[in-house]
Structure 1
């Protein structure tokens, strides 16, 4: 049974359990709700949640674990000598999954029977012709061992799905029967339901924490593998980034770190003044009508996808900078300082525009959190509006604004699409903002793009870069939160 229909059946059973459980509680109290320990809805929620939640939990765990187990067993069936040179087991397994999906389509559309899909081993020509009838092409590279593995993969997947459907259905029915059977007017349904909701909330919070831990551990393990193949001194203290998948690579993070910080600084030089001035105007000078109109328009920038900003950098900002700083005598300055549309300045300007609503929104909230009594006291002593803003409001809000700027900096450091399309792909040390450079995030994308072998340092370096970037942004976030918390303790 497809997972979608199984989920719909579970939801339908849960809805039915709600009404049946509520009705059973009312019947046990002869229709008098005052005789019930809890409100009638609690009895219905108890039956609904008991039937739905454990079954959905089992379904989610099964869907996560089953593919891992099947792929592990099927991959062990493929002999190492059958893996072509330049390929790896992950590529072979992708072929296995593709062939297995083709067999499923052929069986579903009647091109072959389930027994034929399961038992045909050697006649690849016959199988190709049958799959061709339903528009599935195997290609010429499918070997008998791949077909054998695909048939095993399909068989194990179908068996696993059948067992999953049976177990999930039995668990849902068992939960329904158990909770419905103990539904009675004296049953403390409210206590049980509230404890169950509390457990779900704790589980949700734990999943967020466990996911973060899992991300960090996955990067740590792969980073450890990288440093087992490449010198850590060259990575942290080298001066050249020159990956070569044939060996003898120079993989130093310093040129990438320089490009990342350089672009981020330019972005903050654009975003901080504009965003801060916008926040001061909206919070201190604008009337309610202007604020209600301007603030949503300003925050629209935050909802624009970063790929759109990248296109804006590549097609508009970059050519505009070239027309001003480049093109020889045809340029505005008459000097060819910039030869291409991609540069540090291009990416920095567009990234700064992207960060404006981030800085302005946080700063606006922080400035509004300054107690009104401080403003009134300053104005009562004879200070003007501008003097009050400069000498009272801004010093009081400064710690929170600094925290907002640090959060914006961590956002800039982690940006990818804008620098991919606007900054170029050259890793080097340079102070010229009109030259192309690259960043850590861009190199991570580049190193993991394509059919690469995860046993080579040129691929594993992406995890070392990611872990370094994670530590850098985590440090900025922790520092920002510390500053904001200190500010809140002082003025709340």
Structure 2
């Protein structure tokens, strides 16, 4: 049964339960609302909540647990002889899932008879041809153990979904029946409903925390799988990035140092652009601009923060790159060979970061107490001297925090780098050469033609974990500085 149908059935049961619970409460009070402990709507809501919450809770739990259980069961069915040298059980399971999805698609499109797809002794060539006719990509040769495991995977999934549908509907009916039976005039429905709503709000507030934990765990587990297949020392200290995908020959060299160098180099160029312009803009808006000019200039400046990064990438590719090539290329100084370079991506990324630096610095400068300015003026200092010797030193910790936040934003940028910096992983000091970053390679590794459980694909998680630790450290340090600064004047 599709999940949407199951959702609608449970919603219908809860709606009927709401009406029945409300009417039962009124009936138990003899139709007089004054005889009820709570308003009639609370009795109906009590039945609806006790119908929906347990049913949807079981549904979510089942959807989370069933894939793990089926994967473990099917993985145990695969004999060790089916795992080729240089492969792993996780790689074979990835092929099993891909084959299972292909079989279901081929049957749905009529490219493969259902009896053939379900037959444990089906001809491998017939199955492979059916998958290709259905447009399903088969990245390795389908063997009999993989076919049998895929058929078991499909069967167990179908059985699990059927049992789940029955269990969810029965639990919804049981919740509705029990809560309807509990309904009477003296029942404290309002207290129960308010407590239930409080728990639901707590669960909603926990989603962000649980999502963060889930992201971290997915990175950790997949990074651990990668380091089982590829040495950690070669990854962290290797100076060559040269992945070799399946079928192209050679062995992969997955050293992260060229990617980190490109990431930091482009980020430094971006900060060299964003920090002076953003800081000077903040000083002007907070200290020199009139209220009328500030009311117009600040929103216009912050429009830059709302432009999608893909638009910045196109701007780098179509405008900034050719412009720099005309000045520094063969027709100019001869330093630049192509429009994609560190300088191209750095300049555009710096423009993107200007509102981050200016807005945060503006707020921090405005937070400096006016009494400090008045004291400086009272000692005979000019406005520029007050800004240089009083305001900026007082706001410096917060400005440093704003710069660090902008740096973490620059390190995590992807689209500008993909379109403006190129894809070459190299160690070079020339800002007019093409380079790449960690985020760009994460995209390319996960959109390549390697198996998802291969080192060439799993390396994306190791790259993501490294980037996560770097940006998390910068963010924590920046927030610590900003909070320490704010506490100084509040």
Count of residues paired in the alignment: 481
Match of 2:405 in 1: 407
* Partners of 2:124 and 2:200 in 1: CA distance: 51
Map 1:440-451; keep pairs closer than 5 Å: 440-451=438-449
Aligned to 2:423: 425
Q: Which residue of 1 aligns with 2:470?
A: 472
Residue of structure 2 equivalent to 1:55? 55
Normalising by the residue count of structure 2, what TM-score does the alignment of the two structures yield?
A: 0.81
Given the alignment, which residue of 351, 354, 369 partners 1:353?
351
Moved more, 52-61 or 199-208: 199-208
Q: Deviations over 1:147-196 (max 9, x none)?
A: 65555444333322221111111111222222233234433334333333
1:70-219 superposed matches below 5 A: 70-74=70-74, 88-89=91-92, 90-104=94-108, 106=110, 118=118, 122=122, 136=134, 149=149, 151-219=151-219
C-alpha deviation, 1:272, in angstroms: 2.1
CA contact 2:21–2:43 (8 Å) conserved in 1: yes
Cα separation, partners in 2 of 1:106 and 1:147, compared to 1, 3 Å: farther
1: CA distance between counterparts of 2:396 and 2:42?
Answer: 49
Offset, 1:200: 3.0
1:129-155 deviations in Å (ceiling 9; x for gaps): 9999xx946799877766655554443
Alpha-carbon distance in 2 for matches of 1:419, 1:233: 27
Q: Whole-Å Cα distance in 1 between the matches of residues 378 and 293 of structure 2?
A: 26
**Superposition deviation, residue 434 in structure 1:** 1.0
Q: Distance in 2 between matches of 1:432 and 1:339?
A: 11
| Cα distance in 2 for residues equivalent to 1:345 and 1:129 | 49
The separation in 2 between residues aligned to 1:279 and 1:491, in whole angstroms, is 19
Q: Is the 8 A contact 1:370 1:397 kept in 2?
A: yes
Secondary structure at the residue paired with 2:187? coil
Relative to the length of structure 1, the TM-score reads 0.81
Q: Is the 8 A contact 1:99 1:147 kept in 2?
A: no
CA offsets per residue over residues 447-472 of structure 1, 9 Å max, x none? Answer: 44423356765554443333222221
1:25-72, Cα deviation, whole Å (9 max, x unpaired): 455556666655445544443332221122112112222333343344
Partner of 2:336, secondary structure, is: coil
Structure 1 spans left out of the alignment, 5+ residues: none
* CA shift in 2, pair 1:145/1:469, >3 Å: closer
User: C-alpha deviations, 1:270-324, integer Å up to 9, x for none?
Assistant: 2223333334444455566655554444333333332332222122211111011
Counterpart-to-counterpart distance in 1, 2:47 and 2:378: 63
Q: Is the Cα–Cα contact under 8 Å of residues 226 and 457 in structure 1 kept in the other structure?
A: yes
Corresponding residue number in structure 2 for 1:257: 260
Quote the Cα distance in structure 2 between the aligned partners of 1:148 and 1:228.
27
Structure 2, gaps ≥5 residues long: none
- Cα 1:22–1:408 shift into 2, 3 Å: farther
Do the aligned partners of residues 84 and 228 (structure 1) sit closer, same or farther apart at CA in structure 2, a change above 3 Å counting? closer
Which region of structure 1 is more displaced relative to structure 2, 403-412 or 45-54?
A: 45-54
- Paired residues of 1:38 and 1:190 also in contact (CA < 8 A): yes
* Pick aligned residue for 1:310 from 309, 313, 318: 313
CA deviation after TM superposition for structure 1 residue 410, in Å: 0.9
* Cα distance in 2, alignment partners of residues 349 and 440 from structure 1: 18
The answer to whether residue 6 in structure 2 is matched with residue 6 in structure 1 is yes
Structure 1 residue 221, shift from structure 2 partner: 4.1
Give the superposed CA RMSD. Answer: 4.0
Contact 2:29 2:36 in 1 (8 A): yes
- 1:431 aligned counterpart, secondary structure: coil
Separation (CA, whole Å) in 2 of partners of 1:431 and 1:349: 16
CA distance in 2, matches of 1:27, 1:284: 71
